[in-house]
């Protein structure tokens, strides 16, 4: 299970529910860790940005990094290029989101290339 929990400010339990967790390895044995969110154009765009804020809160808690020594790259795979562009703009404009935490792609073949390049 790739779901993760953490304590939010104020003590409430927060949950991250990525669609997929992946670990890829290089020829040298180095590992890259990924959390993937797949958007099939069914959720309201505001919900996607809210999920980004959940990832930011989880990152800021330090819980995962304390246990593992790293934080996975979060990848959004969207099936609609216009929607992907809009999400990228919203993330870039949001000063509360860590630059580089999210990668966005609108095609499966782009996802493969992104994973081959690494985070």
Taking residues 30-44, report their average pLDDT: 93
Q: Model pTM?
A: 0.91
The CA angle 111-113-115, to the nearest 5 degrees, is: 70
- Residues in CB range of 31: below 8 A, 6 or more apart: 23, 24, 25
Name the average pLDDT for the chain. Answer: 92
Q: Which residue has the tokens 């505001």?
A: 46
Taking residues 90-103, report their average pLDDT: 96
| 27 — pLDDT class (breaks 50, 70, 90) | confident
Task: Kindly tell me the burial class for residue 32, based on how many C-beta atoms sit within 10 Å of its own C-beta (0-12, 13-18, 19 or more).
Answer: middle
Taking residues 74-98, report their average pLDDT: 96
Domain parsing of the chain, residue ranges:
4-117
Q: How many residues does the chain have?
A: 119
Tens digit of each residue's pLDDT (9 = 90 or more) over 55-71: 999 999 999 999 999 99
| 40 — pLDDT class (breaks 50, 70, 90) | very high
C-alpha R_g of the chain: 14
Q: What is the pLDDT of residue 1?
A: 65
85-92: Cβ within 8 A, 24+ apart: 86/45, 87/39, 87/45, 87/48, 87/49, 90/45, 90/49, 91/49, 91/52
Q: What is the pLDDT of residue 116?
A: 82
């Amino acid at each position: 299970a790739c779901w993760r929990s953490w304590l939010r400010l104020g003590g409430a339990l927060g949950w991250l529910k990525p669609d997929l967790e992946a670990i890829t390895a290089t020829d040298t044995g180095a590992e890259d860790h990924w959390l993937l969110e797949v958007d099939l154009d069914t959720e309201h765009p505001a919900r996607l940005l809210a999920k980004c804020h959940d990832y930011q809160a989880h990152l800021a808690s330090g819980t995962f990094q304390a246990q593992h020594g790293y934080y996975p790259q979060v990848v959004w795979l969207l099936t609609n290029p216009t929607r992907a562009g809009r999400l990228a703009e919203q993330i870039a404009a949001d000063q509360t989101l860590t630059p580089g935490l999210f990668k966005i792609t609108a095609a499966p073949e782009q996802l493969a290339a992104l994973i081959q390049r690494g985070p």
